[in-house]
Amino acid sequence: MWASTRRGRQTARRAAVAVTVAALTALTACGSDSGDKKDGADKAAQGDKASGGTAQLDFWGWNPAYEKAVSAFNASHPDIRVSYNKVEPGSKGGYAKMLAAVKANNAPCLAQMGYETLPSFLVEGALQDVDKEASAVKAKYSAGAWSQMSVAGKTYGIPVDTGPVAMFYRTDVFAKHNLTPPKTWDEFARQADTVHAADPSVAYSAFGGNDPWWYAGMAWQNGGSWFKPEGETWKVSMTEPGTQKVTQYWQQLLDKKAVSSDPTFTPDWYKRFGDGSVASYVGPVWFTALLEENAKDAAGKWAVAPMPQWDAGGKVTGNIGGSGTAVLKGCKNTKAAVAFADWMSSDPASLTTLVKDAGIYPAATAGATLDAMQQPSAYFGNAKIYDIFKDSAAQAPTGWQWGPTMTQVSADLTDRVGKAGAGNGKLADALTGVQGTTIKAIQDKGLKAAAG
């Protein structure tokens, strides 16, 4: 079996980094359906048609809102039956479970997958090329989101959402200090000094550095680019000038203790959003749902403003998060898999569910006109907050490239940047350290990697 041999894995990894169509075609051919020996259980799990002509698809993910979408799909599509199984979030064990299932030949057809993780799965030979089936629906999605589910022109799933960034702020705290949302990062820093000087118990904002994708989003806005395949070599640039500027900026705020360095997405972290001891947070659209859920008593006290700019008058944002529905290696019915994934990502009723229950920003361009996206939010003072995220989505630079060892990158960034943010070291040293461990991790996979 191709995926079970060391030689096959090495071939797949080299093919992925070379990013040539020919190599990726070979990669796909190695794991194609023809000639593979599957037992009956595998065939059912991976999308074969069961008796009665109904395609059976397993789908693993962790977004609770997907369960409603799957139920609605099954009710309206008698020829395809999707079974949704919730697993731990990707970085908490979900991805490891998926990779193990691929190697054991009992993986689901479909998997929720953060864009940052797709290249890592490709390097492991765990994805199914569905370019043929997906090309017909490509026009429904934003070019940037579609590119996140593709490598070298080959498509491995359907995008679901993106993570446009804006600034969340407490209206009561801002009013107390006669502040309006800052338009630039310089103004943001001055306001941080003002609030900290007036009341040291209040953090002007929350530093999200122990969330690796938050840090990437900040670098993304400033023109950063951490990974770039050149020939057969991965160039790793986590200390490039754009990221260095971001690093120096937040280091100064941390040194002054003007921003909170608490670990993100913990009960204590959310408590400060609820009691007003954190006055702002620059974060993604999906944070709206988390804030509503974890700081219910602060309803009506939070508002959303555009992301601050490095240059006055600038209109450049970043992206934090976003995911797609990937088709895993061994899926026996890629046509049905793509049909479901496309439906979940583009059907108006499905998108309405995902917007209301999960706070997503749809990757499908038609999603911007959904009624759910036009409605005022009671939690955010009856403001139409999606108007701001719509502008932000259009202002994020395209072309950001993720690397082939993002699980390792995530763990190392969380550890080193988290410690530096808490005062145990400097952010610049943390980024330099993660760049080094990342280059080694890529090389340990038998691939070429270098700084630059």
Report if residue 184 sits inside a domain.
Answer: yes
Residues 96 and 173 placed together within one structural domain of the fold: no
Give tens-digit pLDDT for 95-137: 999 999 999 999 999 999 999 999 999 999 999 999 999 999 9
Residues 86 and 176 placed together within one structural domain of the fold: no
Which CATH number goes with the domain that contains 441?
Answer: 3.40.190.10
pLDDT at 152: 77
Domains contained in the chain, number: 2
Mean pLDDT, residues 62-66: 93
Position with higher pLDDT, 123 vs 343: 343
Residues 283 and 181 placed together within one structural domain of the fold: yes
pLDDT at 43: 42
User: Residue with structure tokens 């009506």?
Assistant: 300
Residues 307 and 280 placed together within one structural domain of the fold: yes
Residues 176 and 249 placed together within one structural domain of the fold: yes
Report if residue 47 sits inside a domain.
Answer: no
Give tens-digit pLDDT for 300-320: 999 999 999 999 999 999 999
Would the pLDDT of 42 be above 60? Answer: no
Residue among 358, 347, 370, 342 nearest 145 (CA): 342
Would the pLDDT of 398 be above 90? Answer: no
Helix axis angle, 427-444 to 241-255, nearest 10°:
140
Would the pLDDT of 53 be above 90? Answer: no
Report which secondary-structure segment, H or E, holds 121.
helix 118-123
| Dist. CA 131–CA 148, nearest whole Å | 13
pLDDT at 399: 79
Instruction: Measure Cα distances from 160 to 292, 293, 321, 324, 389 in Å.
Output: 22, 22, 11, 5, 16
Residue 53 CB contacts under 8 Å (≥ 6 apart), including other chains:
79
Report if residue 363 sits inside a domain.
Answer: yes
- Report residue 265: phi and psi, to 5°: 60, 30
Band of the pLDDT at 7, cuts 50, 70, 90? very low
Give tens-digit pLDDT for 413-451: 999 999 999 899 999 999 999 999 999 999 999 999 999
Give tens-digit pLDDT for 238-276: 999 999 999 999 999 999 999 999 999 999 999 999 999
Name the domain boundary from 353, 369, 385.
369
- Report residue 109: phi and psi, to 5°: -70, -40
| Residue 284 C-alpha from the chain's centroid | 10
Would the pLDDT of 50 be above 70? Answer: no
Q: What is the CA radius of gyration of the chain?
A: 22
| Dist. CA 224–CA 75, nearest whole Å | 45
| Residue 230 C-alpha from the chain's centroid | 24
DSSP code at position 203: B
Residues 180 and 262 placed together within one structural domain of the fold: yes
pLDDT at 82: 98
Report if residue 386 sits inside a domain.
Answer: no
Report if residue 379 sits inside a domain.
Answer: no
Report if residue 221 sits inside a domain.
Answer: yes
SS3 359: coil
User: Residue with structure tokens 């970085």?
Assistant: 91
| Dist. CA 256–CA 46, nearest whole Å | 54
Contact of 413 with 370, CB cutoff 8 Å: no
Residues 82 and 194 placed together within one structural domain of the fold: no
Would the pLDDT of 23 be above 70? Answer: no
Residue 118 CB contacts under 8 Å (≥ 6 apart), including other chains:
127, 148, 149, 151, 156, 157, 324, 326, 402
| Dist. CA 394–CA 317, nearest whole Å | 9
Residues 331 and 199 placed together within one structural domain of the fold: no
Residues 208 and 257 placed together within one structural domain of the fold: yes
Here the tokens at position 73 are 């799909």
Mean pLDDT, residues 380-385: 96
Residues 94 and 111 placed together within one structural domain of the fold: yes
Residues 223 and 253 placed together within one structural domain of the fold: yes
Strand boundaries in 237-288, DSSP class E: 259-260, 280-284
What average pLDDT is seen over the chain?
88
Q: Which residues of 103-124 are buried (b: 16+ CB within 10 A; e: fewer)?
A: bebbbbbbbbbbbbbbbbbbbb
Residues 211 and 282 placed together within one structural domain of the fold: yes
Report if residue 209 sits inside a domain.
Answer: yes
> What residues does 327 pair with on adjacent strands?
110
Band of the pLDDT at 48, cuts 50, 70, 90? low
| Dist. CA 279–CA 295, nearest whole Å | 13
Here the tokens at position 153 are 């022109």
Range of the domain at 98: 55-163+322-369
| Cα distance between the two ends of the chain | 37
Would the pLDDT of 5 be above 80? Answer: no
| pTM for this model (two decimals) | 0.84
SS3 378: coil
Would the pLDDT of 338 be above 80? Answer: yes
| Dist. CA 423–CA 417, nearest whole Å | 10
pLDDT at 325: 98
Report if residue 38 sits inside a domain.
Answer: no
Give tens-digit pLDDT for 161-212: 999 999 999 999 999 999 999 999 999 999 999 999 999 999 999 998 888 8
pLDDT at 44: 39
